[in-house]
Amino acid sequence: MADSANPKTRNDFPATWQRPDLWLEEKAETRPGKPAIIFRHESITYHRLWERVTRLAGGLARKGLRPGDRIACLTTNHPAFLETYFASSLIGSIFVPLNFRLAEAEIRHQIEDSQPSALVLGPTQEEHSDRFFRDLAAGAMRIVRIETGKATVAPDYEKLIETGHGVDRNDLDRSFSPEDPQLIMYTSGTTGTPKGALLPYRKTLYNSLNAERFFELTEEDSVLVSVPLFHSLGLNILSVPVLFQGGTVVLLESFEPAEALRAMRRHGVTFIGAVPTIYKRLLDHGLEGSDLSGLRFGFTAGAPIPTSLIEAYHERGILLKQGFGQTESSILCCLDAEDAIRKAGSVGKPVVHAEVKVVNERFEEAAVGETGEIVASGPIVMLGYWGRDQETEKAFQGRWLRTQDLAVRDGEGFLTLVGRSGDMYISGGENVYPEEVERVYRGHPDLEEIAVIGMPDPDLGEVGLAFVILREGCSLDEGALRDYARGRLSRYKIPRRFSRVDALPHTVTGKIQKYLLRQRLSGNDGPLLS
């Protein structure tokens, strides 16, 4: 840990750095014609982006949005997502990105939990039932549709901008502190109950500074963003730091290998960020013949990346940088390209603007080679969990955020993950919490008991494996069991395999000993799958 001279303790940054709307305004003045966002075949300059943001903020303010109100956004990747992010900062409202992959019941929970005053709704979300949105709008929440083919009484997004006027900060009664909450990003604890991590403005600034240093960012950089913006990776680690520097975000609605490669060539992308699954699919598609000479590196996070994949990219002249973090903290550790092969398997060293250490059960710093929990402190950690004081208290020990991730530290200070104190697994970059899955299946009439763990998958990293005890007279139908969860769980949370067992290992208190199931899955104790 560094002393008080460490740059993480600085408080002499320019005032325009403190809030996203302030530094966006500065970029609009200093580089008005520079592309800020490229989407589909459209280039949005910093001047135009700022003009749209001020008009959107003015329109939302006239609809009654005030500092501290929540503005939720439910859409696939779209410039409106980033415009709403900046407009929320200008107003002083709290931005709430929602995961469009969730089932309706899960979306409803997050909306009811955060109680937004407005919901910006993307075009693909019309697949949800009309009644679903009517019920959501039954309270004080306004629904603003980005694009729509349906008649609706709700004001649409473009009309709000076209008829709006730039907002005057003096009319907003907008006080400011770096400790003010800026975002609520939903994550889950080990029990699987969704929690909203409350993230302050100072976290956005210091995380952007960490990214600037690790990525060596300049205003000449352009990043390809094909991962969802509702993720910390897409928003906080890739898009926001690049815009903070005055660079360009090349935004894709979703990932498709051929389109991603075309976008990199067409727009001179200098780096990309993605989960390991995307890098594997790009490699499977074929990088040969693609002119990626302008690509400085790729960044990966969200799940462990195989050494073979790192080596395959390095053999093609493409460096991969790795990172490890959480929604509650963003990136905590980084492994630079120069160490990617030598230290393969490690997540790197702690970032500059944070304190990160590995502690044992006595909360003492673990010795080199000793397994312990990663804890973090400093300006990049969250304020706490929205509306959950007890959960917040459990997440911190003094000033230290407990990540529940277990790691060892080597003699050079590199950290290597060895497991999680909970049972979470990562499928295609998405966190899956077995308790949430099991809770849904406990309502199935054919199941006596269920236990879910992650099993290795060559494409997604891990997928769900469910061990089930069936009720007497019932038979195992994997297809029917998967169908049962559709609409109740996101697709990536539904187990890929179901295995019938006669008994599950329990503790004396009735808890299932999942580590024994994982040991059997990776060992030679006989066939585990039915």
pLDDT tens, position by position, 12-26: 788 889 999 999 999
pLDDT attached to residue 126: 62
Give me Rg for the CA atoms of the chain: 23
Alpha carbons 186 and 183: distance in angstroms, whole number: 10
Domain 425-522 has CATH 1.20.1740.10: no
With a cut of 70, list the residues of the chain below it in pLDDT: 1-11, 125-127, 129-130, 134, 137-139, 148-155, 173, 188-193, 303-304, 419-420, 422, 507-511, 522-530
DSSP 505: -
Which residues, other chains included, contact 416 with Cβ-Cβ below 8 Å and sequence gap of 6+? 345, 346, 347, 407, 408, 409, 410
Residue 408's pLDDT is what? Answer: 87
C-alpha distance across the termini of the chain, in Å = 50
Q: Pairing mode, if any, of strands 142-145 and 384-385?
A: unpaired
How far is CA 472 from each of CA 10, 443, 482, rounded to the nearest angstrom?
A: 65, 16, 20
Assessment of whether the complete model's pTM goes beyond 0.85: no
Task: Write down the pLDDT at residue 389.
Answer: 95
CA distance linking residue 327 with residue 183, whole number of Å: 11
Entry field: residues in the chain: 530
- Backbone φ and ψ for 483, nearest 5 degrees, come out as -60, -35
Q: Are 450 and 474 in contact (CB under 8 A)?
A: no
Q: What is the rounded distance in angstroms from the CA atom of residue 351 to the CA atom of residue 330?
A: 10
Give the burial string for 174-188 (b: 16+ CB within 10 Å, else e): beeebebbbbbbbbb
Reading the block at residue 511, the tokens are: 């808890």
List, as one string, the DSSP characters of 110-160: HHHHH--SEEEE-GGGGGS-HHHHHHHTTSSPEEEESS-SS--SSPBHHHH
Residues 328, 283: Cα–Cα separation, whole Å: 31
| % of the chain surpassing 90 pLDDT | 59
Listed residue (457, 469, 526, 527) closest to 495, CA to CA: 457
